[in-house]
Structure 1
Amino acid sequence: MCNYKRRRKNDPGEDGLSSEREDARQNGSGAAGFDPKLIEPYIVKDPETLAVNVARAMENLGKAASTWLGPRERGEIVDPVSEPMTELVKTMSKVTEYWMADPKRTLEAQTHLMASVFAMWSRTLSRFSGSASDQPPEPPIKDKRFADEDWQRNPFFDFLRQAYVILSDWAEKLVNEAEGLDEHTRHKAAFYVRQITAALSPTNFVVTNPQLYRETVASHGANLVKGMQMLAEDIAAGRGELRLRHTDTSKFAVGENMAVTPGKVIAQSDICEVIQYEPSTETVLKRPLLIVPPWINKFYILDLNPQKSFIKWCVSQGHTVFVISWVNPDERHADKGWESYIHEGIDFALDTVEKATGEQEVNAIGYCVGGTLLAAALALHAQQDDNRIASVTFFTTQVDFTYAGDLKVFVDEAQIGGLEERMRQTGYLDGSKMAAAFNMLRASELIWPYFVNSYLKGQDPMPFDLLYWNSDSTRMAAANHSFYLRNCYLNNNLSEGRMQLAGKTLSLKDVTIPVYNLATREDHIAPAKSVFVGSALFGGPVEYVLSGSGHIAGVVNPPDKEKYQYWTNGTPVGSYEDWAANARETAGSWWPHWHAWIEAHNSERVPARKPGGGALNAISDAPGTYVLARV
């Protein structure tokens, strides 16, 4: 025994410990590669207070559960839980069937997983023993969810992180390499796997997230008490549905510090208000500008505040700006389809512009699905000899849905049929459903970080105008939404020349006016490639422009911010990849480039026009009343 102790002190001995590692052990720093001091922030110092706060948190969680269950027990909310779960199980079972059908494939999948797990386990043991210092350092973690340094520094959390990455990659590999799947099923399976892995990330749980664990210990669980209280409040705010808080909504009010560009509502139909904005220049372009926003969201994304407002900027450049503000539909609008939205929306607005200005030619802008509707309206106008729109600009607009991205996951005959059945009961699709679908496209950025910060950290969100607008969702009229899903996402009828409106079969080749087609490079809703492919469908000249950032930030990018960039490369021919590879990059906003394009087609100016002119009286001040209706 004495000899054993002497050998341990003076030489490496059979366990291979160097004298340096033994000195480190005696000095209290443990094996090289792991410092016991790293455990200190995770040790509970006041278990009694922690236990009390956990009990209070559970009480608040019970209140949240009661708030969620109440309207369901009363029959006010009927959750078709079985349908999405059935879709998920059915899709994933096809992947499982492929790998389980052949014992050789099953062994191959298991072997790949176990080899990765054993390699990770070996690295972890090396860290605990101190021998990991001989290995090259790991590259920096690029995933923002694992930004805390203890995800690499602490062996326990490092093990969890590596295990999660291995399992996530393995699950994606099973989907990608499963043979015999049609493309739609593979697309759905890959999407569902991303949703599952995003939800099961160790960053989403208190005991597996180092930052959450430390904060819980440091606050004795007070963060969980507040977080569960916030959860109950958010379910109550959603009247039984979880309305995930992304921002401090108390700091914003439409018409007070958002959507404040001066203007007047000068016309109103059953489905829209038409706003004309006050001029800020002595002369204006002869052609007025009509903006057709999406009805899936509210128009004031283009008028968030004076610093970010595209509308205000257009006014300052000498445009006479008109904007359609869509109604937030309810059961009265159940039968309002695309014909109604064209005749009572776009055509009604064109009539209003002509009455207010006397002009029969306008420049038009369509944003997202508003642009898709506008493209269909232009094809219809071409057959009706309606030439009032002289040029058109599309913001992140798809007219071909071949490469429409992850939203296609939700579109097939079975899912649309189920959705239509639910819409028949109310006459509309609740806005929260579409908002949830959009958030799921980027769940790791738009769902789980806010879930963690609000309900596990107990942190109040920061005020952010863009996220306030994002939460201000709208309903979709049943006929409108059904027509959109079937004719665009499901059957691609507009692209294929099969869409029928007002007794006409539409062809985008009939649209021969100049087109400015803006896409954004990181768009998850209208992918840049999808927008590019759609450019070839028009019968006139198309200027395709690619902006940096995504569906919103790539559009709402004022020049004075000097953010992002845009790319140009002439006519969009060939493949998107080749066009992008040879495109010319320009720093900053695309807004001045667009304005120069407008003026290149007609730069004639006239004296500034007041809202309504001499023909129409103001109904109300901008932003009107339709935009104020909240879900």
Structure 2
Amino acid sequence: MSPSDTVPAGVRERDASAWQGTRHHYPEENVAHAALDLPLHAWLGRFTGNVSPAALALAWFDWSLHLMLSPDKQAELATHAASASLRWWQYCAGTAFASQAAPVEPLAQDKRFVDPAWQTWPYNVLSQGFLLQQQWWHRATRSVRGVSPHHADVATFVARQLLDAVSPSNFVATNPVVLEKTCARGGMNLLSGAARAAGDAWRAASGSAAPPGLRPGHEVALTPGRVVLRNRLAELLRYDPVTPRVHAVPLLIVPAWIMKYYILDLSPANSLVRYLVGQGHSVYVVSWKNPGAADRDLGLDDYRRLGIMEALDAVQRETGARQVNACGYCLGGTLLAIAAAAMARDHDRRLASVSLLAAQVDFTEPGELSLFVDDSEVSFLEAGMWSQGYLDTHQMAGAFQLLRSNDLVWSRQLRHYLLDVPDRQTDLMSWNADATRMPYRMHSEYLRQLFLNDDLASARYLVDGRPVALTDIQVPIFALGTRTDHVAPWRSVYKIGLLSDTETSFLLTSGGHNAGVVAPPGDAGRSYQFTTRAPDAPYIDPERWQQEVPSVEGSWWPAWEAWLAQLAGPWVEPPPPAASLGPAPGRYVLEP
């Protein structure tokens, strides 16, 4: 049997022309390696969390060798270590007799040592020693002359992960809060935590996941509607009007398929869909299928055709509208930008506007996710996807958890296993646990063509064999960025203004990638900045924009809806109900 016989037929027969325009031709070039290389890498990935050992080794050698050849940097680090040690010993001596100013303060987002118990001896000494080490290692992995920026980021990230694992807050004997709780409860908190840890370990080993606490159609995804289209990849949900008259131009929302659509239709108080329907918009939402091994050959263009283009056809058939407002969230926004550029190239004028929520179209500055995206990492990840046909939910969740390990790993384990504090059951957290998979081919194309090659921003991305350019889009564009987004950093989202030649509105809101989007009116502490830039207006860099644009208190939803209403046409009678394939939230969102 030849090596090619071990490759699935869909991969073996894939036309290489579909992979033009990139520096790589995966998987065709790897067919010859399918007998040993790919299975070996897939097997190794089970033990490394699908992190490439080669990528880590390259980053380590790049940093360590350049550090060895930098005597000035070594002297600087030695001086800093000596100074930090002296300050720590002085602090130790001072706190034994009186209060003493701390040598270093934790970062604003570091909440591990905020409890007053950490200010008592000896825990203050332990926490300060840890923070001084953290500070030294940050200096050690940054600003080493000659190290590539990517390898420096990886070295800093790995050092931070290793330090976080040995933080004194993680251990019973060195955490005063845990010790106090243990004494008060006679150790029952540790017993309950051990039972929880055993249950989590069993689920991880068996590959099963705890079911989400809030169920679509029961506690979340409750906005009344119906399924009006279903194909092998997506369902289209149409929501029932609640106002006597509606805007003539309907709204099509394209969420990311890395998540289930109902982040936009959580509990009624947090539902963006319900809010828009209440403002008189005819809302349609794409609900993606959760793919399995049989869907391994679905690519980005399949998502464009079966998700956006077929949904657009269905919306027009139902409403009779000549144009549709389109909105994409996260990866759905990236795909919508591709579709809009292809439609503009082909003189398809059916879009009235394009809204991109926390969506990137330029991937040169993708934030901390770039730590997991280089040629070595992508090739290693592809091997794991090749063996099973998709990217597993645990693989995605692990990467996102590492990016915020303090909040999502160690702090959770502290609360969950040592302090016996159960997880809060909120609609957003329940949705976050209801993860989805991604097809092998699609995710490989996404990582290589968009992340590695930046083909979309460079007008090299092919649709129907021809490149598309974002500058062809002539309809108004609305782009939303969130200030603390670690998935789509707002400065990266802001680049749509550089890559388009049309009127572009940009809104920057408080919060992160998910919590910043789910921001209903009435939530305390919300604020945003918002401007619209004419096509011929001069460019303003993001730092200057953030400094000059005034901040407005409140939710960004009304500001976007007001912008949308200007492009939604006159008020008309709601279109008559069409044939239904079943009530919302549909079938696909319920599939495990």
TM-score of the superposed pair, with normalisation by structure 2: 0.88
Partner Cα distance (1:341, 1:488) in 2 = 15
Map of 1:226 onto structure 2: 192
Partner Cα distance (1:82, 1:531) in 2 = 28
State the shift of 1:561 in Å: 2.6
Structure 2 CA distance for partners of 1:430 and 1:236, relative to 1, 3 Å: same
Map of 1:172 onto structure 2: 138
Partner Cα distance (2:56, 2:311) in 1 = 43
> 1:192 aligned to 2:158?
yes
Partner Cα distance (1:256, 1:76) in 2 = 41
Map of 2:294 onto structure 1: 332
Map of 2:113 onto structure 1: 146
Instruction: Give 1:39-118 correspondences, 5 Å limit.
Output: 78-80=46-48, 83-101=51-69, 105-118=73-86
State the shift of 1:105 in Å: 4.5
Q: Residue 259 of structure 1: SS of its match in structure 2?
A: coil
Structure 2 CA distance for partners of 1:274 and 1:611, relative to 1, 3 Å: farther
State the shift of 1:137 in Å: 7.6
Partner Cα distance (2:104, 2:162) in 1 = 26
Map of 2:14 onto structure 1: none
State the shift of 1:549 in Å: 1.4
Q: Residue 495 of structure 2: SS of its match in structure 1?
A: helix
Structure 2 CA distance for partners of 1:567 and 1:102, relative to 1, 3 Å: closer
Partner Cα distance (2:102, 2:290) in 1 = 55
Partner Cα distance (1:344, 1:102) in 2 = 55
Map of 1:524 onto structure 2: 486
State the shift of 1:168 in Å: 0.4
**Residue-by-residue CA offset, 1:24-53 (whole Å, 9 max, x unaligned):** xxxxxxxxxxxxxxxxxxxxxxxxxxxxxx
> 1:409 aligned to 2:375?
no
Partner Cα distance (2:134, 2:392) in 1 = 33
Instruction: Give 1:276-291 correspondences, 5 Å limit.
Output: 276-291=238-253
Map of 2:18 onto structure 1: none
State the shift of 1:601 in Å: 2.6
Structure 2 CA distance for partners of 1:236 and 1:76, relative to 1, 3 Å: farther
State the shift of 1:97 in Å: 2.6
Partner Cα distance (1:90, 1:339) in 2 = 34
AA of the residue aligned to 2:89: W
AA of the residue aligned to 2:150: H
> 1:123 aligned to 2:91?
yes
AA of the residue aligned to 2:498: A
CA contact (8 A) 1:557 1:563 kept: no
AA of the residue aligned to 1:444: N
State the shift of 1:101 in Å: 3.9
Instruction: Give 1:426-445 correspondences, 5 Å limit.
Output: 426-445=388-407
Match of 1:505 among 454, 459, 467: 467
Q: Residue 498 of structure 1: SS of its match in structure 2?
A: coil
Q: Residue 552 of structure 2: SS of its match in structure 1?
A: strand
> 1:469 aligned to 2:435?
no
- Unpaired runs of 5+ residues, structure 2, are 1-42
Map of 1:159 onto structure 2: 125
Map of 1:310 onto structure 2: 272
Q: Residue 177 of structure 1: SS of its match in structure 2?
A: coil
Match of 1:565 among 527, 535, 551: 527
CA contact (8 A) 1:279 1:609 kept: no
Structure 2 CA distance for partners of 1:96 and 1:466, relative to 1, 3 Å: same
Structure with bigger gyration radius: 1
Q: Residue 559 of structure 1: SS of its match in structure 2?
A: coil
**Residue-by-residue CA offset, 1:250-273 (whole Å, 9 max, x unaligned):** 741111010000000111011000
CA contact (8 A) 1:521 1:549 kept: yes
State the shift of 1:369 in Å: 0.6
**Residue-by-residue CA offset, 1:402-432 (whole Å, 9 max, x unaligned):** 2210001111111111111211111100012
State the shift of 1:77 in Å: 9.6
State the shift of 1:76 in Å: 13
Map of 2:177 onto structure 1: 211
Partner Cα distance (1:136, 1:369) in 2 = 47
CA contact (8 A) 1:127 1:155 kept: yes
Map of 2:441 onto structure 1: 479
> 1:549 aligned to 2:517?
no
Structure 2 CA distance for partners of 1:102 and 1:351, relative to 1, 3 Å: closer
Partner Cα distance (2:45, 2:383) in 1 = 15
Q: Residue 287 of structure 1: SS of its match in structure 2?
A: coil
Out of 489-498 and 249-258, give the one that drifted further: 249-258
Partner Cα distance (1:500, 1:342) in 2 = 12
Partner Cα distance (1:82, 1:549) in 2 = 29
AA of the residue aligned to 1:316: G
State the shift of 1:99 in Å: 2.9
Map of 1:580 onto structure 2: 546
Structure 2 CA distance for partners of 1:102 and 1:541, relative to 1, 3 Å: closer
State the shift of 1:103 in Å: 5.8
**Residue-by-residue CA offset, 1:479-506 (whole Å, 9 max, x unaligned):** 1111111111111110011111211111
CA contact (8 A) 1:191 1:406 kept: no
Match of 1:374 among 336, 345, 349: 336
AA of the residue aligned to 1:171: W
State the shift of 1:532 in Å: 0.9
CA contact (8 A) 1:278 1:610 kept: no
State the shift of 1:624 in Å: 0.7
Map of 2:3 onto structure 1: none
Structure 2 CA distance for partners of 1:507 and 1:524, relative to 1, 3 Å: same
CA contact (8 A) 2:471 2:500 kept: yes
CA contact (8 A) 2:330 2:356 kept: yes
Partner Cα distance (1:480, 1:113) in 2 = 48
Partner Cα distance (1:77, 1:551) in 2 = 28
Q: Residue 495 of structure 1: SS of its match in structure 2?
A: coil
Partner Cα distance (1:347, 1:231) in 2 = 46
State the shift of 1:557 in Å: 0.9
Map of 1:298 onto structure 2: 260
Partner Cα distance (1:357, 1:459) in 2 = 50
> 1:356 aligned to 2:323?
no
AA of the residue aligned to 1:99: L
> 1:539 aligned to 2:501?
yes
Number of residue pairs aligned between Structure 1 and Structure 2: 544
AA of the residue aligned to 2:181: E
Percent identical among aligned pairs is 36
AA of the residue aligned to 1:213: L
Structure 2 CA distance for partners of 1:160 and 1:374, relative to 1, 3 Å: same
AA of the residue aligned to 1:144: K
State the shift of 1:519 in Å: 0.8
Q: Residue 254 of structure 1: SS of its match in structure 2?
A: coil
Structure 2 CA distance for partners of 1:486 and 1:205, relative to 1, 3 Å: same
Q: Residue 601 of structure 1: SS of its match in structure 2?
A: coil
Structure 2 CA distance for partners of 1:140 and 1:297, relative to 1, 3 Å: same
State the shift of 1:90 in Å: 3.6
CA contact (8 A) 1:569 1:579 kept: no
State the shift of 1:299 in Å: 0.6
- Unpaired runs of 5+ residues, structure 1, are 1-74
Partner Cα distance (2:382, 2:511) in 1 = 34
CA contact (8 A) 2:66 2:144 kept: yes
- Alpha-carbon RMSD: 2.2
